[in-house]
Chain A
Amino acid sequence: MSFVQNFPFFSIILAMFSGIVSSVLSGRRARDLSLCMIGITTAMSACVLFFCRETGESYTYMMGHFPAPWGNEIRAGVLEGLTAVMFGIVMFLSVLGGMNDAVEDVEASKLNLFYIMIDLMLSSLLALVYTNDLFTAYVFVEINTIAGCGLIMIRMRGRSLSAAIRYMILSQLGSGLFLIGLSILYDITGHLLMSPAKEAVAAILADGRYEIPMLVVLAVISVGLAIKSGLYPFHYWIPDTYGYATPTASAVLSGLVSKGYIFLLVKIFFRVLGTENIIDSHMVNVLYIFGIAGMLMGSLHAIRERDTGRMIAYSSVAQIGYIYMGIGLGTEAGVIAALFHVFTHSATKALLFISAVGLYDVSGGKRNPESLRGAAYRNPVAGIGFTVGALSMVGFPMLSGFISKLLFATSALQSPGKMLPTLIVLAVSTTLNAVYFLRLVISVYSRRGVYGEEQAAQPKSSFALRISIVCFVVLNFILGLASQPIVGAIREGLSMFG
């Protein structure tokens, strides 16, 4: 066994222990530790990715002393490694970009708690990505929820507290459904590890037994995770949650947390329930329809929104719709497109949230389009970052959003029944995206600002924020220009799932 194979376990445990150690550190130290830890875990994930690409196969890693059908396992392959690397990079840049605002938003004595939540969040995301055990997945889903709730409520304003309780309630509904689904699945199959459970599911289906429980399992697990990732019509916690949290939290929650659940859902579909089963049960069609509805409704809500933060949040509803639409196509190409969009959206949405902060900073903290007029001249880096993010969401060539849309459209061509609605909705949704994003881009680049020259002594945005925005922009270009290797890696990883 190679030493690299230990890395998934090391990265999860390292993230968790940093959280524990942070509880006795000062806010500043906790932040440094957190950044350091995210860097190390991302490097480890990159090693795992290269190791799996080199060997060309995935591996399982036994936890504890009980072998396969009983014990607990971690599994790592190309797709897991790639996702972990992406999550790590986005997490690092979000923490870096939002750290000055975190100091303002969070009470000084509680700043280290904020970074504990970040550490726990990363640990649970990595565990969701790597785990091969269903119940472990449930436990980390809950840890993720608690950490997410902590990240929202730590701002301690009225709106963030009410957003946190809403988030918590919806998340608990989702976790409850997920848990009962797991329990019924465990009852039918007798396994919690994914690989033996898959064999048992296949045997049960071949015998034609337990048809109804199987359908219930499928439905409650899908719906549970869909609620937690904010699929339309379970989206109404999103705008407040993403709109009123501190910027790092918004970026992390919209960019990563919902994606962790989606990744888990794809993993369960491929590694436990089996894709044919999902397609035969028409569950994909349900996800497809809600995905399409989300694409349209999210954009329509975003157009009506006057608050920039909430507008970006509503755009997330639309983007989550895209992802579920891709999964709902029921083809491998659709899932590849969906997973690519997971990366696109986490890089782009985090960029938008972080660069919007740079724009608020130079507009007296106001967030409506009128106040943001000309903000891009007052803070050029944030302006460019916001523009790149907006263009990427709209699907401008060379940026990652374009590749996602291209992948969605080409994968739609392979599923005849769904081709026409997909293409129409893609076109409509793109237009709507363009309406609300470009409106804001034009606004931040218009000369006649209500915020005139008299505000010469504007606060400069911090160096860390600018670095983070530049890195996010580069990441977007990398995803857009060098998409082929990434798509290839996703394809390879998915075939390892099988």
Chain B
Amino acid sequence: MLEFFSRNLEATVSVILFGVGFTMLLLHQNLIKKIMGMNIMDTAVYLFLAAKGYIDGRMVPIVTEETLDASLYINPVPSGLVLTGIVVSVSTTALMLALTKRLYEKYGSLNLDEILMLAKEEKQ
């Protein structure tokens, strides 16, 4: 069992990180910590993808004149996916932070329960 996990170390770590991030995003009441959880969750996926795209003993997929042989490189597609994913998660993080800022200005709290309660009390 332990050997299985150590053989798939990156996958194991990323799944654990994903779980940590997911739980934080779901259960934590503090909005900033929720956003941190979201980032941990996304990063776990990038670790997973990057680890799966890596092939031992091969090099960065930058094509030069001397090295046109595809078997010299690691798989470039997962790296591309990670880059795309990072762009996506940066924009969602920015949006969440902006929203959090607005809510903090309005209610003076970062606690989601409290904010929801205050919002319910005030007349819409």
Contact = CB atoms under 8 A, between A and B. Distances in A.
A162 B25 contact: no
A197 to B, nearest CB: 13
Interface string A150-174: 1001000111111011101100110
Interface of A: 70, 135, 138-139, 142, 145-146, 149-150, 153, 157-162, 164-166, 168-169, 172-173, 176-177, 179-180, 183-184, 186-187, 192, 244
Contact of A180 (B48, B88, B102): B48
Contacts of B21: 176
A484 B115 CA distance: 49
B26 A146 contact: no
Given A161-B106, A183-B48, A146 B91 contact: yes
Contacts of A177: 22
A157 B102 CA distance: 11
B124 A159 contact: yes
Nearest to A187: B52
B26 A173 contact: yes
Contact of B49 (A70, A153, A164, A183): A183
Contacts, number: 95
Contact of B99 (A165, A176, A180): A165
B54 to A, nearest CB: 12
Interface string B42-64: 10110011001000000000000
Nearest to A158: B119
Interface string B77-115: 110010011001001100110011011001100001001
A180 B17 CA distance: 12
A153 B99 contact: yes
Of listed B21, B85, B119, residue having the most chain A CB within 10 A: B119
A146 B124 contact: no
B74 interface: no
B9 interface: no
A288 B52 CA distance: 34
A135 to B, nearest CB: 6
Contacts of B102: 153, 161
Nearest to B82: A183
A146 B48 contact: no
A145 B52 CA distance: 28
B25 A172 contact: yes
A149 B106 contact: no
Describe A's contact surface by its main secondary structure: helix
Given A168-B95, A173-B22, A176-B38, A158 B124 contact: yes
B92 A146 contact: yes
Contacts of B100: 165
A165 B92 contact: no
Contacts of B85: 179
27 contacts: A142-B88, A145-B92, A146-B91, A149-B95, A153-B99, A153-B102, A158-B106, A158-B118, A158-B122, A161-B102, A162-B103, A162-B115, A162-B116, A165-B100, A165-B115, A168-B92, A169-B26, A172-B38, A172-B96, A173-B22, A173-B25, A179-B42, A180-B44, A183-B45, A186-B78, A186-B81, A187-B48
A179 B45 CA distance: 7
B92 A159 contact: no
Given A159-B124, A183-B45, A183-B48, A168 B99 contact: yes
Interface in B6-40: 18, 21-22, 25-26, 31, 34, 38
Contacts of A70: 77
Nearest to B34: A169
A157 B99 contact: no
Contacts of B77: 70, 192
B81 A135 contact: yes
A142 B92 contact: yes
A70 to B, nearest CB: 8
Contacts of B124: 157-160, 244
Contacts of A180: 18, 44-45, 48
B72 to A, nearest CB: 18
A166 B49 CA distance: 28
A216 to B, nearest CB: 9
B88 A165 contact: no
A70 B76 CA distance: 11
A176 B107 CA distance: 29
B91 A161 contact: no
Contacts of A135: 81, 84
A283 B78 CA distance: 28
A176 B39 CA distance: 10
A135 B102 CA distance: 32
Contact of A166 (B45, B95, B107, B116): B116
A169 B113 CA distance: 13
B112 A165 contact: yes
Nearest to B49: A183
